[in-house]
């Protein structure tokens, strides 16, 4: 499992490495704040379509082979990003990377779930979520630090080398054996989405990650607006709140027990999330830095609890349930990484905060509405 978690870390690092560099990239390539945000949005869009395009491939091809090929291509694409001389090529590379990441995340998430022993699914999924959090944090921090010390291009040379190393190491991964991701038949997709409990959780995490992606994508510009000392390294440090996400995700099972179950844990997480979003309106760097710990901690408590909870009721269709979870999660990210741009330009940062608080509140209400499904009793998808 260590190699799987290392691969997960690198996958998320690739996804988020450009974020702390957005102001620098916008200045170097002469594009607007809204336009440079597309470097994140373009990678999220394919992730929102993951279960519709990759299920056939992942059922026909051994997952280990898919992982090795995807990491090889990701590594090469990072090198192309590093030498790019035009904004259009940057966008093309990010779109290409976005087409590879869904296959990786769906394979990795379901591999972890299927390899988990009975009764350990939620705990193992929490560890997987912690690996995704650490990858997101290190990807941002390292790219910002390397760019500050050397050059932004050096960040992607190092990332590319790490991805190629991972492709080689994945040759040691044992065959998945009985692992088979579910082919995205329309009927099975509809069966999952007709389940009111699953649909509400999917929509809640859509709202959750929409707000999160918006803050992560536009916080660099907020920092440059309120502080003249906001260089690449300091912007990268702003993502240190991710470390609290590691703590809450690894503690998700224990916290759920302490709160009295998964639903109360989700409600507490969403409530704190709403408060943290409102605190982001304070125009002081120190307050923003501290609040990012609260913001990330609450977000990843919800994420780890929701993903583990869904897998407990996924039955024999973990591939489809996880694929749809990824689709809704990153669908929210695709919208959140770009939609606040026009709001920011017209209404300022506080306008963005109001918009995100509304989405977080909708997520809270959707989660609260799951209570009636618990009273009725939940059964696995497909009855197995």
Question: Distance between CA atoms of 305 and 265, rounded to whole angstroms?
Answer: 8
Residue 252 has pLDDT above 60, yes or no: yes
Q: How confident is the model at residue 231 (pLDDT cuts 50, 70, 90)?
A: confident
The pLDDT, as a whole number, for residue 307 is: 83
Question: Distance between CA atoms of 235 and 212, rounded to whole angstroms?
Answer: 16
Residue 381 has pLDDT above 60, yes or no: no
Mean pLDDT for all residues in the chain: 84
Of all residues in the chain, the percent with pLDDT exceeding 90 is 37
The pLDDT, as a whole number, for residue 59 is: 54
Residue 383 has pLDDT above 70, yes or no: no
Residue 339 has pLDDT above 70, yes or no: yes
For the stretch 103-150, pLDDT in tens is: 887 777 766 766 666 566 667 777 777 888 888 888 888 998 898 888
Q: Give the residue with greater pLDDT, 242 vs 92.
A: 92
Task: Please give the distance of CA 249 from its chain centroid, rounded to a whole number.
Answer: 13
The pLDDT, as a whole number, for residue 310 is: 81
Question: Distance between CA atoms of 335 and 258, rounded to whole angstroms?
Answer: 34
Which sign does the torsion angle of CA 207, 22, 221, 338 carry?
negative
Sketch out the chain's domains with CATH numbers: 2-383 (1.20.1250.20)
Q: How confident is the model at residue 179 (pLDDT cuts 50, 70, 90)?
A: very low
Closest-CA residue to 19 (of 2, 41, 1, 3): 41
pTM score: 0.80
SS3 186: helix
């Amino acid at each position: 499992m260590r190699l799987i978690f290392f691969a997960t870390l690198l996958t998320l690092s690739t996804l988020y490495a450009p974020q702390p560099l957005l102001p620098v990239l916008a200045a170097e390539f002469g594009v607007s704040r809204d336009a440079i945000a597309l470097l994140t949005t373009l990678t999220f869009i394919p992730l929102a379509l993951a279960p519709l395009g990759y299920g056939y491939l992942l059922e026909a091809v051994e997952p280990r082979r898919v992982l090795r090929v995807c990491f090889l291509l990701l590594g090469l694409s990072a090198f192309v990003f590093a030498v790019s001389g035009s904004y259009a090529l940057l966008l093309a590379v990010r779109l290409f990377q976005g087409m590879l990441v869904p296959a990786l995340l769906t394979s990795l998430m379901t591999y972890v779930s299927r390899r988990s022993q009975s009764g350990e699914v939620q705990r193992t999924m929490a560890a997987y979520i912690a690996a995704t959090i650490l990858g997101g944090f290190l990807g941002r921090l390292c790219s910002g630090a390397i760019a500050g010390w050397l050059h932004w291009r050096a960040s992607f040379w190092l990332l590319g080398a790490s991805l190629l190393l991972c492709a080689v190491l994945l040759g040691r991964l044992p065959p998945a054996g009985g692992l088979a991701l579910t082919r995205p038949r329309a009927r099975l997709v509809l069966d999952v989405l007709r389940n009111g409990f699953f649909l509400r959780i999917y929509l809640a995490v859509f709202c959750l990650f929409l707000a999160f992606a918006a803050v992560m994508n536009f916080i660099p510009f907020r920092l440059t607006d309120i502080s003249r000392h906001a260089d690449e390294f300091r912007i990268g440090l702003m993502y240190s709140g991710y470390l609290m996400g590691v703590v809450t995700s690894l503690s998700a099972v224990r916290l759920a027990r302490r709160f009295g179950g998964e639903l109360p844990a989700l409600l507490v997480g969403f409530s704190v999330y709403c408060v943290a979003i409102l605190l982001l309106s304070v125009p002081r760097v120190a307050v923003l830095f501290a609040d990012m710990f609260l913001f990330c901690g609450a977000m990843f408590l919800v994420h780890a609890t929701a993903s583990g909870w869904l897998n407990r009721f996924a039955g024999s269709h973990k591939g489809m349930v996880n694929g749809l979870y990824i689709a809704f999660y990153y669908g929210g990210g695709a919208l959140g990484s770009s939609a606040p741009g026009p709001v920011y330009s017209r209404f300022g940062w506080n306008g963005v905060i109001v918009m995100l608080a509304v989405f977080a509140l909708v997520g809270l209400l959707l989660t609260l509405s799951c209570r009636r499904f618990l009273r009725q009793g939940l059964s696995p998808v497909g009855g197995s």
